[in-house]
């Protein structure tokens, strides 16, 4: 048995105490000894707490005599043991410390015994029940602060931690609603609380929940600061706990760090007021609020207004407790703070201060893109700002947590007052930008800017779900779309530990599309390049068109409307007639594999024009255009369609053809066929696009530099390419080929498929009515002509020649006005 000597000092004599660092049973009978074994309930390997514990090395063990003089100090060995022997027969106090746990102290009487064993396990005595994924920042700060703190997540409930209730001296329940959990009902919680020291001693906090007598009775909660005579939620102690805990979970937030530090200090005081001081008595320790409204830039900081801690302290003391409305929030946050904010906040003045500092300190080429969020900054916001600025755009974050004033009203004010100008908005808001009033439509109509939807912090399950983020889509995308917010792009996800991860490919896609929508706002119409994309599948002249839309007439009319709006459509007199335009469009339509001769004829008869507009793509250019394509998608394409240029719309194995014709800066073209000629290819989720399809969208983006695509009617195929149903991301073909703003006229009677286009290719949908329908038969002037003919026949039967001749004359004169050939007496008779 290995022994080692410590220079421990005895108060009674100068003998040397011996400490044994070995297994506990071997020295249990050592004379005049205290045998200590220490364990830790926290198992670092599993990141949880175990009732069995693990042996704890390097725990500090100190022994004091009856006069509180130190007689021994040492550390436990790797087995968690230390034995102090050669002690005098007397009374001692043993203190065990480790890390940030509360020290443990125990009296030992060796006056009548020769040895005594102490077996102690460190167990957290502060227990929080809350959704860890929502409050991971708070919990991580608290657990980093002290090992006294543990938690059980209400949404991912771990029954193996329930034993902690029996040791908890303080318990905090946050947002508990007994109808929200599978296991954790009110009755179940009542059993867990029954024998907990925290509940026995009225030391349970309950925040942001349901404040009814039924809740108290159902759960048996004994509220902190209350008593058996008056067990109420609205104690000053419970109010302070909620006031510290209301800080937003924002990483590296000074407010959050301040509140969590004083939260912990206050809990220590509530557990042991004789040892710890009440931090709320010191003004600087009062709860602080996270910035609730303002402007942010990573290089300039936060521009906001927040109440001073002393003001919050006054609100807490004068208006303690919680609202019993469905909001379940602190009284002072429901009444005092909103009134203060309305009287103090002036978004326009605040923004002008921010804008001036931005102009003075940051270089930019183009007006702002605003990023609207609930909370200030964060990794996603910083990534978007850096991306926009890398593209020459000024950018900033406007944040608003509460509903009064609304985000849409703030946007309305700053868009109107900005000197730099705001050209587009990226919204990370769910539900509505004006939730309190039910819709932001009127504000957004006044603002008149593109508002693109950034979908952030989806769950890890949704991120890896091959169908996409199903759960989040309704409140994140569908509801905002009702007020005109469109173009959803997934920007981040939250892992199982509550940590947010930026999806850089999503950020890059949002930056690219938002910058292009902003350019559409800023550019002169004469400089904009527009592609009108028509549909022709299966290939062939008979298959050109769209559902319930006269594509040829619509395209013809659109050219003139674009001209009237200042777009460059070339010489207006060069635009052919509707009939001639129709013939020209039919001529350059998609050519099926059976019509190689037609393809060759088209290319050869327009070769110079096609080359001049780079509409013939050779192999080297194809490789350049597709160099950045996701590697797995590219491999999928060539495995299905072969190497090189493929076989569809390829001229003599040398060039991929991009069919179409130019009118100034307007390019009329056809979306490539989906596959071969079978109609079932349209929605085939196992069929990758072919080379011409991929080259088509890359060419529009990289070679043409198109500013906008107009998909002429219902419907195209880009939105039906393989990939996630919603929330398309890197690795989905639709995501890969959505490269430019898309404006999509769509039949109003088909909202289901329109939502697919909106959600998968970030298109701006514009509905059009169904065509007018009339009963079959004659109508208009044809009815008049028919009546003339009937009258003529009647007069012939009646042998009233003079009247018959009058009707004959009317018919001969009127028929040509309806498109009939003129009557020619030389080669036909009237009655024929």
Encode pLDDT of 281-320 as tens digits: 999 999 999 888 999 999 999 999 999 999 999 999 999 9
Q: Decide if 4-122 and 126-290+318-329 have a common fold.
A: no
CATH 3.30.1760 fits domain 126-290+318-329: no
Closest C-alpha to 332, from 294, 287, 269? 287
Q: Which of 716, 720, 704 is nearest to 744 (CA)?
A: 716
pLDDT at residue 676 greater than cutoff 90: no
Condensed to tens digits (0 to 9), the pLDDT of residues 53-82 reads: 999 999 999 999 999 999 999 999 999 999
Structural domain spans, the chain = 4-122, 126-290+318-329, 346-522, 533-768, 776-832
Q: Compute CA 767 distance to the chain's CA centroid, rounded to the nearest angstrom.
A: 27
- How far is 425 from 485, CA to CA, in rounded Å? 10
- Res. 539 pLDDT band, cuts 50 70 90: low
Poorest-pLDDT segment among 48-52, 651-655, 683-687: 683-687
Q: Which comes out higher in pLDDT, residue 300 or 542?
A: 300
Quick: pLDDT tens for 511-536: 999 999 999 999 999 999 999 999 87
The pTM score is 0.78
N- to C-terminal Cα separation, the chain = 131
User: What is the band of 29 on the pLDDT scale with cuts at 50, 70, 90?
Assistant: low
Q: Where are the alpha helices (DSSP H) in 246-346?
A: 254-271, 309-318, 331-334, 336-344
In angstroms, rounded to a whole number, what is the distance separating the alpha carbons of residues 638 and 299?
46
Long-range contacts of 575-579 (CB under 8 A, 24+ apart): 575/663, 578/552, 578/553
Q: Cα–Cα distance between 616 and 657 in angstroms, integer?
A: 5
Architecture of domain 346-522: 3-Layer(aba) Sandwich (3.40)
Question: In this predicted model, which residue has the larger pLDDT, 359 or 9?
Answer: 359
pLDDT digits (tens, 9 = 90+) for 722-733: 999 999 999 999
The structure tokens listed for 337 are 């703070």
Q: pLDDT category, 276, cuts 50, 70, 90?
A: very high
pLDDT at 542 over 70: no
Task: Name the fold adopted by 4-122.
Answer: Immunoglobulin-like (2.60.40)
101-109 average pLDDT score: 97
Residue 119: Cβ within 10 Å count: 12
The pLDDT of residue 678 is above 70 = no
Structure tokens at 713: 């009617």
Whether pLDDT at 618 is above 50:
yes
pLDDT greater than 60 at residue 15: no
Joined tokens for residue 829: 């008779």
């Amino acid at each position: 048995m290995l022994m080692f000597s410590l220079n421990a000092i005895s108060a009674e004599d100068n003998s040397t105490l011996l400490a044994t660092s070995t297994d506990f049973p071997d020295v249990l009978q050592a004379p005049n000894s205290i045998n200590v074994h220490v364990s830790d309930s926290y198992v670092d390997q599993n990141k949880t707490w175990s009732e069995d514990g693990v042996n704890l090395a390097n725990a500090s063990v100190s022994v004091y005599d009856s006069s509180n003089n130190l007689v021994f100090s040492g550390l436990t060995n790797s087995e968690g043991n230390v034995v102090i022997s050669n002690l005098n027969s007397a009374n001692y106090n043993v203190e065990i410390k480790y890390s940030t746990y509360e020290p443990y102290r125990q009296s030992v009487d060796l006056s009548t015994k020769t040895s005594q064993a102490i077996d102690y396990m460190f167990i957290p005595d502060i227990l929080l029940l809350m959704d860890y994924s929502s409050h991971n920042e708070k919990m991580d700060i608290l657990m980093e602060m002290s090992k006294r703190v543990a938690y059980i997540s209400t949404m991912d409930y771990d029954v193996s931690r329930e034993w902690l209730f029996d040791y908890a001296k303080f318990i905090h329940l946050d947002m508990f609603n007994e109808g929200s959990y599978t296991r954790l009902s009110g009755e179940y919680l009542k059993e867990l609380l029954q024998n907990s020291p925290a509940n026995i001693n009225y030391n349970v906090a309950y925040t942001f929940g349901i404040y009814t007598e039924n809740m108290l009775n159902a759960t048996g909660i004994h509220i902190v600061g209350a008593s058996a005579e008056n067990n109420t939620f609205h104690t000053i102690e419970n109010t302070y706990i909620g006031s510290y805990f209301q800080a937003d979970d924002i990483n590296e937030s000074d407010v959050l760090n301040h509140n969590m530090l004083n939260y912990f200090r206050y809990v220590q005081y509530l557990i042991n007021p004789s040892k710890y001081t009440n931090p709320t008595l010191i003004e600087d320790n009062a709860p602080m609020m996270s910035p609730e409204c303002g402007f942010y830039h990573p290089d300039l900081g936060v521009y906001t207004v927040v109440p001073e801690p002393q003001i919050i302290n006054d609100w807490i003391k004068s208006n303690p407790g919680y609202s019993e409305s469905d909001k379940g929030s602190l009284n002072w946050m429901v009444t005092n703070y909103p009134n203060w904010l309305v009287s103090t906040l002036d978004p326009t003045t605040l923004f002008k201060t921010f804008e001036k500092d931005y102009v003075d300190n940051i270089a930019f080429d183009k007006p702002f893109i605003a990023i609207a969020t609930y909370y200030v900054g964060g990794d996603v916001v910083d990534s978007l700002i850096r991306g926009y600025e890398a593209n020459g755009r000024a950018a900033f974050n406007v944040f608003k947590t509460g509903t009064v004033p609304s985000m849409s009203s703030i946007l309305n004010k700053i868009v109107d007052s900005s000197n730099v100008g705001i050209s587009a908005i990226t919204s990370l808001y769910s539900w509505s930008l004006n939730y309190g009033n039910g819709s932001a439509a009127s504000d957004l109509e006044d603002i008149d800017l593109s508002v693109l939807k950034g979908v952030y912090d989806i769950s890890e399950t949704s991120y890896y779900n091959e169908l996409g983020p199903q759960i989040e889509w309704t409140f994140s995308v569908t509801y905002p779309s009702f007020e005109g917010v469109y173009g959803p792009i997934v920007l981040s996800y939250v892992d199982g530990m509550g940590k947010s991860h930026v999806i850089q490919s999503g950020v890059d896609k949002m930056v690219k599309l938002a910058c292009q929508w902003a350019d559409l706002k800023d550019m002169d119409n004469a400089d904009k390049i527009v592609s009108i994309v028509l549909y022709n599948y299966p290939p062939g002249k008979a298959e050109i068109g769209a559902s319930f839309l006269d594509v040829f007439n619509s395209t013809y009319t659109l050219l003139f409307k674009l001209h009237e709006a200042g777009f460059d459509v070339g010489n207006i007199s060069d635009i052919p007639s509707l009939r001639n335009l129709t013939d020209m469009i039919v001529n350059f339509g998609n050519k099926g594999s059976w019509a190689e001769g037609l393809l060759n004829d088209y290319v050869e008869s327009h070769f110079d024009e096609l080359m001049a507009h780079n509409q013939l793509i050779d192999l080297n250019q194809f490789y350049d255009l597709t160099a950045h394509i996701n590697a797995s998608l590219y491999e999928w394409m060539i495995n299905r369609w072969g190497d090189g240029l493929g076989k569809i719309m390829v001229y003599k194995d040398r060039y991929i053809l991009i069919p179409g014709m130019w009118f100034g800066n307007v390019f009329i073209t056809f979306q490539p066929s989906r596959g071969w000629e079978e109609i079932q290819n349209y929605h085939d989720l196992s069929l990758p696009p072919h080379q011409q399809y991929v080259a088509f969208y890359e060419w529009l983006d990289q070679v043409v530099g198109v500013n906008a695509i107009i998909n002429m009617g219902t419907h195209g195929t880009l939105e039906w390419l393989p990939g996630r149903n919603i929330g398309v991301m890197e690795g989905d073909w639709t995501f890969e080929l959505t490269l430019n703003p898309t404006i999509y006229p769509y039949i109003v009677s088909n909202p289901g498929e329109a939502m697919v286009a909106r959600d998968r290719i970030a298109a701006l949908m514009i509905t059009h009515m169904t065509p007018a329908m009339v009963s079959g038969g004659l109508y208009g002037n044809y009815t008049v002509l028919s009546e003339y003919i009937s009258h003529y026949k009647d007069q012939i039967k009646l042998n009233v020649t003079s009247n018959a001749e009058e009707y004959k004359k009317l018919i001969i004169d009127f028929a040509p006005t309806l498109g009939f050939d003129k009557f020619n007496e030389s080669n036909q008779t009237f009655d024929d």
